[in-house]
Amino acid sequence: MPFTITIDGERLSVPAGTTILEAARRLGRDIPTLCHRDEVEPVGSCFLCVVAVRDRPGLVPSCVARVEDGMEVTTDSPEIRAARRMALELLFSDHPGDCEASCTLACPARLDIPGFLRHVAAGRPEAAARLIRRRIPLPGALGRICPAYCERACRRGQRDEPVAICAMKRHVPDREQQEGAAWLPERPEPTGRRVAIVGAGPAGLSAAYTLLSMGHACALYEARPQPGGMFRYAVPAYALPRDALEHEVEVIRRMGAEFHLNTALGREVTLEELRARHDAVLLATGAQADVPPGCPGAQAAIPALRFLEEVATGRRTDMAGGAVVVGDGQEALAAARSAVRLGAQPVTLLSGLSRARLTRQPGAQDAAEEGVTFETDAELVSLRQRDDGAVECAVRRPGGEMTLVGECVIAAGSRRVDVRGPARWGLEVEEGALSVDDAGRCRGAPDVFAAGEVTLGATWSVRAVAGAVGVAASVDQYLRGEPVVGERHLLCVRMGRVEPAVLEQLCRGYPETPRAEPQKLPAESRRGDFREVRPGLCAEAARQEARRCLNCDCRARDNCKLRIYGTEYGADLHRLDGESRGFERDDRHPELVYESGKCISCGLCVRISAAEDEELGMAFRNRGFGTRVGVPFDRPLSEGLTRATARCTEACPTGALAFKPEEVTG
Amino acid sequence: MTEVTEQSARQTGGAEQAVDLDAVDQIIERHGRHRGAAIPILQAIQERFRYLPQAALERVCERTELQPAQVEGIATFYSQFRRRPVGDHIVSVCVGTPCHVAGADAITESLMRHLDIPDNRDTDEEGRWTIEEVPCLGCCSLAPVAKIGERFYGYLTRDTAPRMLEHFLQTYGGRDADEEPPGRPGGRQEDGELTEIRLGLDSACIASGSDRVRAVLLEEAQRLGAAAHVRGAACAGMYFQEPVVEVLVDGHSFRYAGVTPGVARHLARRHLRGRGLLARGKAALLRAKDLLTSDSAWTEPDDHTLDSRDPATNAFLAGQKHLVMEGAGRLDPDSLDDYEAWDGYRALREVLVERTPEEVIEAVKKSGLRGRGGAGFPTGQKWEHVRARHEDTKYVVMNGDEGDPGAFMDRMLMESYPHRILEGLAIAAYAIGAQEAHLYIRAEYPLAVRRIRRAIRQAEERGYLGKNILGSDFSLRVNIMQGAGAFVCGEETALLASLEGRRGMPHYRPPYPAERGLWGKPTLVNNVETFANIPWILRNGPEAFAAIGTERSKGTKVFALVGRIKRGGLIEVPMGIRIGEIVDEIAGGMQEGRIFKAVQIGGPSGGCLPASLRDVKIDYEELTQHGAMMGSGGLVVMDKDTCMVDIARYFLEFTQNESCGKCTFCRVGTRRMREILERLCEGDGKPEDIELLEQLANRIKGTTLCALGQSAPNPVLTTLRYFREEFEAHVEGRCPAGLCLALIRYEVTDECNGCTVCAQACPADVIEARPYEKHEIDQDTCVHCGSCRDACPRDAIILRKD
């Protein structure tokens, strides 16, 4: 005799013995579960599947509750969602581990670093290239000049030396370039949509790659004669060789990008025209306004950006006499080191920072080796052009006053966005940058987006690239008629800096090996030319280095139900924090890794291994909050799971039991 | 002999042990090879080896149907099982509610310090002593209590606790328990000059020293050559004055309370008559000697006389109504003859001869009896559900897993009225159609197990159990299974899992055990007290039962009445009695200088009601309405020195420890609640903590798999409801009751004259001895034990709560 029940107002007839969960599924309602698996008896452990049943107090676990005739069930309500959220938060509070590796989280572009390193370790540079470009479409450039936040967060660094992530990142496009290849991603059918990207600098190029990979057509409008933006016109060739940059652009060209060079917005083409001719416009015009020093005689100094552009375009090829560079950022150092290479002598860098701080800047060490002199704690008071053409710099320092003289004085102030542009285009400006909403859309212009330094202000290029990739996702949503919300990431459980005991777990099986450090060009030979100072790694060295990665990311990162539901229900990871179990990683089984810290005690592996008649299988140990799952009698995992390995691992709703990536041996 | 040398990796002691596998094989032979024998097998192994050696467990897996996963699972789930060897003697410190309230923490701490046991271990270096904390020994009037083996020590203090160890070794020669008491000496004399002496010999009575009293009485009887019959009597529940001894001679009854061995000696000499001239002469001489040698000899027994008009005893008993405790103080638990003399097994006989199972069920329904284990489900209805299942095999299970700390009603019933329980059980089995019964008795109740086991034997011999009971078609086989230490096994589905040799983890209901229970068969699970009510109901009729109590709560309820009251013990009161009557009249109000603050009803599943609610009636619904719960019968009376936040913390700690761990809200949720409460008691509470605590409590209450989790928040919710200001005070860093150590300070006032007594009394060397100068307590290192205040002869040390 079937029962008639009501679920969310809909009636249906089900046989006696059906659970509420099964009945709901017949109506297409997918109630979330963690500890449920169709082929195994349900137990009612996780309580994510709670529903409300009329006349029953509290909430009911639908996976184990059987229907009764006339039952009225509600599967969704604010109370139910709050209960599910609390269940998830309780589980998270006792769940040590990292969803994403700490390097990935430190990277502004959220690059899947362990992922691409595993490809390199396995000798699959093409797969590595495609993976990297999903987040960083210009790996050859960034792998040379990025400050590498990732390496600072690298757990390996807690043990010996961090993995040389940056070097690994550029190694991949270097290989590609060597082989004359372009490892393009698979693309979907063309969508028929066209996007205009204004500016072919790091942000514009990155947005183009991303949108092209999604199937849209892209036309880049670049004011300068060549694409590259800051990468070409501000980063000297000794840091980013021209051919490497060309290769990056070539890849994007091969993706189908159209380039309109020497075309400036507001000059050769207007915003209205672009909006009319394209389905969406993305502004990536950068922050290229140099702020001159505010002292008297400032006009006697050359702006650093102009100087660097002259060097890059070959308009300035040699310098006689001394040069003084005022400033301490990357442009200042680039100007100083370029001046050295052009023959200027002496080259002095005048900075208001202390010596200690200045020498910590990336590139400062190299500059000192190349002969640049630092005058620190110094303030420029005034400039005076002398009759003989040289420039006098009056400098004030704690010790007293002094005068520096140079044939050429280069001023590297902070870079700004030229806000006159946006104003002319009718767009809002906020705090010295183009104003956009959280998804990167310009206010009041639904089809106009902006990314990179034009919205962020002058910053590290990796942020501009990351921002552009993110906004490209918004453009894609817009083009598809979906709500424009930008990139959405799954929540991340993270351990942060780990205790020695945990580090030991992570490092087990990884021998202590030194970090690969390619040889810098000796300082003397650097003075004369613009050859690349830091060469890349050879293939074998790269493979070895990639194997140093501890693979801190969770094996179930992309299909962990706890993570997915946690994100869906807006779980606050730390609201219910308290004592929690320790992190443990057991990777002695040939096929799988067991991280007991991530276990939610659902018992699926216990039941499945029993059903498969494993001699040992998995067992519950202890009771209550201290419940753990493990192999009986402390035997190794390889003895515990033999024929049930695959079923148990697939059933595990978190990353506790997960398959080893094939690349990681042992 | 097969031996395996084993060195368990889990041992911190590191001692090697040779494991006799032949012994293991014998155990397997005795208990069987099927899965259901798992727990008894492990219990037997532990009894033989004093822990569970790895080699023994592996042998079991080799030779039985038991799987390693199952064995690992249960060996680590139940508290009783140890994977590491224990010391020669185990000291069990009771941390039940009354003992906790009386300061059990200090006892454990004192013992650990005395034996130099570090925090993360429980056994001393030499392996002589193991200290463990146990939920409840059921001797609450003697709080704080500890036991070594079956030797009980009451009224312990921080100072006397270590001395207990020496006393045990000297007095008992290190023997954990005595052999079974010998048969009754003296026998019946034809000349009819038999003097009968009765005294309670239940666990609680023994803990008060009644076994020593009995030994003395027997000794004296022998010395005097008297015809005396010293026998046990069913517990009368008057723990405030145990041991109680009743002497029946020449048709007169003389009762004495608080009898010590010394008093017993004089008692014996006063009442026992020797046989024959020679013996009488000797006795007279001894009496004369007593007269001459001391004055007190005559006054002592008189001081202990219980006049039938004794106001204290009367007040204690007047408000009670003994249905399940019928025969209290009289009935000898070990005597089937006694039970029969008290109309024992008459109901069973009538039922088998005159009534059908359906008629029995009707009667139980009409009586209005509700489950006494706590849930209060109508018993008749439950029986009807099981009866209605068309299955040949059905089971009856008695839930004797009384685990509430501070509750010992069922223990008393099992030890004092075993036959009554068996009778009720047999009637139930007949009514539902079962042929097999399982008595699940808590591990911590060995005396109850012994008494019931003996009662079963006696009953079988006389045809009340076994095949074709009293010549009818009805047969009933009764088995005993001892729990292995898991409070959650009081939940019926967990209990059944335990009977099946599995981890005691409940499952969602429905299906209820009535439909699918033990081994998948329809099973009736009832509490001990529920069964104990059945014979009375059938003998006196359901109407008589229903005449007692309120409209929806019929009959009586046994309560364990404990706390800082004048008269504590076990009481059986009619439903509908007011809390105030129990506290003021039966218990006689609070002890000298103590003020009634709250009453905790229902143990860890129950709630705390403030003194202002003294007119609330003992009634299932009325208690629930006010946030408490009838529970199994725990009733703790609290005074102003009890911190309600600490009480909430204490109960949460208990429930949290006992959580089976299956469902998220109980496993993790109660843990988080506990952590918040611990923070509050340590002075680390934040304002948001109270709100978070409430949020968690309310959510957990409606979202767990079983009643343990569902009721775990009750103590917190009631204390928040009625004593919220105490929580708020704790957030501010104050403990109004002056209990939470982190929130109180001891201070020396100007009354100090520099006598240095406090410095000498301080166990932590926190006070510097400065003769003739005002002393000072170093607040940074003070452990808040209060020894200095106790020792100060001038009351110059005060407790500051702010």
Contact between A58 and B510 using a beta-carbon 8 Å cutoff: no
Higher pLDDT, B122 or A440: A440
Nearest by CB to A625, which of B70, B661, B696?
Answer: B661
Q: What is the DSSP string of A319-361?
A: --S-EEEE--SHHHHHHHHHHHHTT-SSEEEE-SS-HHHHHHS
What letter would DSSP give residue A552? -
Domain boundaries, chain B: 3-77, 89-172, 195-318, 343-546, 552-641, 643-741, 744-800
The superfamily in CATH containing domain B195-318 is: Glutaredoxin (3.40.30.10)
**ipTM of the predicted structure?**
0.89
Does residue B166 register a pLDDT over 80?
A: yes
Distance from CA of A58 to the nearest CA of B (A): 4
What are the chain B neighbours of A91 within 8 Å (beta carbons)? 664, 668
Write the pLDDT tens digit of every residue in A353-366: 999 999 998 899 99
Label residue A529 by pLDDT band (50, 70, 90): confident
Q: Which residue of B has its CA nearest to A620?
A: B73
Alpha helices for A516-572 (secondary structure H): 523-528, 539-546, 561-568
Q: Do domains B89-172 and B195-318 have the same CATH topology?
A: yes
Contact between B705 and A61 using a beta-carbon 8 Å cutoff: yes
Mean pLDDT of B556-580: 94
Label residue B265 by pLDDT band (50, 70, 90): confident
Of A460, A380, A377, the closest CA to residue A415 belongs to A460
The answer to whether A100 and A492 have CB atoms below 8 angstroms apart is: yes
- In B281-329, beta strands by DSSP E: 305-306
Contact between A600 and B73 using a beta-carbon 8 Å cutoff: no
CA separation for the pair B512, B371 (Å, rounded): 15
Distance from CA of B705 to the nearest CA of A (A): 7
Q: What are phi and psi of B293, to 5 degrees?
A: -80, -25
What pLDDT shows up at residue B209? Answer: 83
Label residue B738 by pLDDT band (50, 70, 90): confident
Q: CB burial class (10 A; 0-12, 13-18, 19+) of residue A13?
A: exposed
Nearest by CB to A576, which of B658, B672, B702?
Answer: B672
The answer to whether B704 and B605 have CB atoms below 8 angstroms apart is: no
Q: Which residue of B has its CA nearest to A580?
A: B668
CA separation for the pair A363, A190 (Å, rounded): 43
Nearest by CB to A91, which of B659, B664, B695?
Answer: B664
What are the chain A neighbours of B686 within 8 Å (beta carbons)? none
Mean pLDDT of A526-541: 90
Q: What is the DSSP string of A64-128?
A: TPBP-TT-EEE---HHHHHHHHHHHHHHHTT--S-SS-HHHHHSTT---HHHHHHHHHTT-HHHH
- Rg (Cα) of chain B, in Å, rounded? 27
Of B246, B273, B270, the closest CA to residue B257 belongs to B246
What pLDDT shows up at residue B100? Answer: 82
User: Which domains are delineated in chain A?
Assistant: 3-76 (3.10.20.740), 102-183+498-546 (1.10.1060.10), 194-289+417-479 (3.50.50.60), 292-413 (3.50.50.60), 561-659 (3.30.70.20)
Does residue B774 register a pLDDT over 60?
A: yes
Contact between A624 and B667 using a beta-carbon 8 Å cutoff: yes
- In B119-203, beta strands by DSSP E: 129-134, 146-148, 151-153, 195-200
> Count of A–B CB contacts within 8 Å?
135
Nearest by CB to A622, which of B70, B76, B671?
Answer: B76
CATH 3.40.1710.10 fits B744-800, yes or no: no
CA separation for the pair B676, B437 (Å, rounded): 44
What pLDDT shows up at residue B179? Answer: 57
Token readout for B629 is 């719960």
CA separation for the pair A476, A474 (Å, rounded): 5
Contact between B664 and A45 using a beta-carbon 8 Å cutoff: yes
Distance from CA of A47 to the nearest CA of B (A): 7
**Tokens 């082929």 map to which residue?**
A39
How many other β-carbons are positioned within 10 Å of the β-carbon of residue B399? 29
List the beta bridge partners of residue B638.
B598
Contact between A619 and B68 using a beta-carbon 8 Å cutoff: yes
What pLDDT shows up at residue B207? Answer: 77
Q: Which residue of B has its CA nearest to A601?
A: B662
Q: What is the DSSP string of B49-87?
A: HSS--HHHHHHHHHHSS--HHHHHHHHHHSTT--SS---
Q: What are phi and psi of B771, to 5 degrees?
A: -55, 130
Q: What is the DSSP string of A369-409?
A: HTT-EEE-S-EEEEEEE-TTS-EEEEEEETTEEEEEEESEE
Does residue B785 register a pLDDT over 90?
A: no
Label residue B185 by pLDDT band (50, 70, 90): very low
Does residue B299 register a pLDDT over 60?
A: no
Distance from CA of A640 to the nearest CA of B (A): 10
Please give the CATH number for the structural domain made up of B643-741: 1.20.1440.230
What pLDDT shows up at residue B301? Answer: 58
What letter would DSSP give residue A653? S
Label residue B186 by pLDDT band (50, 70, 90): very low
Does residue B308 register a pLDDT over 80?
A: no
Asked if omega into B135 is within 30° of 0 (cis), the reply is no
The answer to whether A541 and A519 have CB atoms below 8 angstroms apart is: no
* Residues contacting B633, CB < 8 A, separation 6+: B372, B404, B407, B409, B529, B557, B558, B559, B560
**CATH number of B343-546: 3.40.50.11540, 3.30.530.20, 1.20.1260.10, 3.40.50.1010?**
3.40.50.11540
The residue among A620, A629, A631, A641 with the most chain B CBs within 10 A of its CB, best to mutate, is A620
- Residue B67 contacts A, CB cutoff 8 Å: yes
Write the pLDDT tens digit of every residue in B8-63: 333 334 344 678 999 999 999 999 999 999 999 999 999 999 899 999 999 999 99
Contact between A45 and B69 using a beta-carbon 8 Å cutoff: no
What are the chain B neighbours of A90 within 8 Å (beta carbons)? 664-665, 668-669, 672
Contact between B667 and A86 using a beta-carbon 8 Å cutoff: no
Contact between A620 and B503 using a beta-carbon 8 Å cutoff: yes
> Which amino acid, residue B419?
H
Task: Give the CATH class of B89-172.
Answer: alpha beta
What pLDDT shows up at residue B311? Answer: 84
CA separation for the pair B425, B476 (Å, rounded): 10
- Residue B11 contacts A, CB cutoff 8 Å: no
Of B465, B497, B462, B457, the closest CA to residue B481 belongs to B497
Contact between A624 and B69 using a beta-carbon 8 Å cutoff: no
- Residue B69 contacts A, CB cutoff 8 Å: yes
What are the chain B neighbours of A605 within 8 Å (beta carbons)? none
Q: CA angle at residue B487 from B481 to B490, to 5 degrees?
A: 60
Contact between A579 and B675 using a beta-carbon 8 Å cutoff: yes
Distance from CA of B695 to the nearest CA of A (A): 10
Evaluated on CA atoms B753, B754, B755, B759, the torsion sign reads positive
What pLDDT shows up at residue B275? Answer: 66
> Which amino acid, residue B214?
R
How many other β-carbons are positioned within 10 Å of the β-carbon of residue A315? 9
Token readout for A248 is 């990056």
- Out of B129-138, B294-303, B402-411, least confident range: B294-303
Nearest by CB to B668, which of A93, A610, A634?
Answer: A93
CA separation for the pair B33, A223 (Å, rounded): 87
Contact between A65 and B663 using a beta-carbon 8 Å cutoff: no
Strands A280-283, A448-450: pairing is parallel
Contact between B663 and A82 using a beta-carbon 8 Å cutoff: no
List the beta bridge partners of residue B200.
B233
**CATH number of B552-641: 3.30.910.20, 3.10.20.30, 3.30.70.100, 3.10.20.600?**
3.10.20.600
Write the pLDDT tens digit of every residue in B449-470: 999 999 999 999 999 999 999 9
